[in-house]
Amino acid sequence: MTAKTFIHTLIALTLSQSFFVPAEAKEHKAVGSNIVINAPPEVVFEAIRKQRNSEEAHRKQVSFDGKTAIIEEKMENVPVYGKVDCTFEETEFPYKRIDYKMLKSTKFKESFGSWILTPSSDGKSTTLEFDSYTNSGLMIPFGGQITEMESKNTGKKRLQHIKEVSESMAKNPPKTTAKPG
């Protein structure tokens, strides 16, 4: 083998190595997005809580102790996997943030993140930030990139949905039956 052939072979092997390294061995990145919502933090916080029981999102709250909720989620059409069942724990810090972590999953290795609420100076609007990290456990080339792309898309959809729910709630507050005392 000539020196030139050896160098070309070495370069080809080096380049191909990155395609065959298991996705789990590559670095996974946290993703984040934010959105401004025309509603005070208390309303946005409640809108996030409402998502715990959502037929549309296949989410169901199974317990809540006043600070921590356990939620079961049944995801469908997850790239590569199809159906994935997860159980999450959400911990509340009223009107400031909700942190979550995955307790178990039929496919994913790890997931955690936060909903962070920042009120405007006049308190009439809120910037909602959604930070999320997921290790899907995909052991295929570009598995980390697929997971990151799907996490970004899901995060943006969730933020937009929370915005719509919050702004609707702010325009149409629930009627109270309490009588002035």
Domain ranges of the chain: 25-171
* 132: three-class secondary structure by DSSP: strand
Q: What share of the chain in percent tops pLDDT 70?
A: 80
Q: Tell me the average pLDDT of the chain.
A: 83
Burial track 134-145 (b if 16+ CB lie within 10 A, e otherwise) = bbbbbeeeebbe
Does residue 68 contact residue 153 with C-beta atoms inside 8 Å? no
Asked if the model's pLDDT at residue 1 lies above 80, the reply is no
Write the CATH number of the domain with boundaries 25-171: 3.30.530.20
The β-bridge partners of 157 are: none
Structure-block tokens of residue 168: 């609707």
pLDDT band per the 50, 70, 90 thresholds, residue 80 = confident
Q: What torsion do the CA atoms of 126, 170, 67, 128 make, to the nearest 10 degrees?
A: -20
Asked if the model's pLDDT at residue 112 lies above 60, the reply is yes
Asked if the model's pLDDT at residue 59 lies above 90, the reply is yes
Cα–Cα distance between 15 and 9 in angstroms, integer? 10
139 against 13, higher pLDDT: 139
The stretch 34-52 carries a mean pLDDT of 96
- Least confident window among 2-16, 28-42, 53-67, 120-134: 2-16
pLDDT band per the 50, 70, 90 thresholds, residue 29 = low
DSSP string for residues in 25-83? GSPP--EEEEEEESS-HHHHHHHHHHTTSBTTTTEEEEEE-SSEEEEEEEEEEETTTEE
So what's the pLDDT on residue 24? 42
Does residue 97 contact residue 34 with C-beta atoms inside 8 Å? no
The β-bridge partners of 37 are: 126
Cα 130 → chain centroid: 7
* 111: three-class secondary structure by DSSP: strand
Asked if the model's pLDDT at residue 21 lies above 50, the reply is no
So what's the pLDDT on residue 135? 87
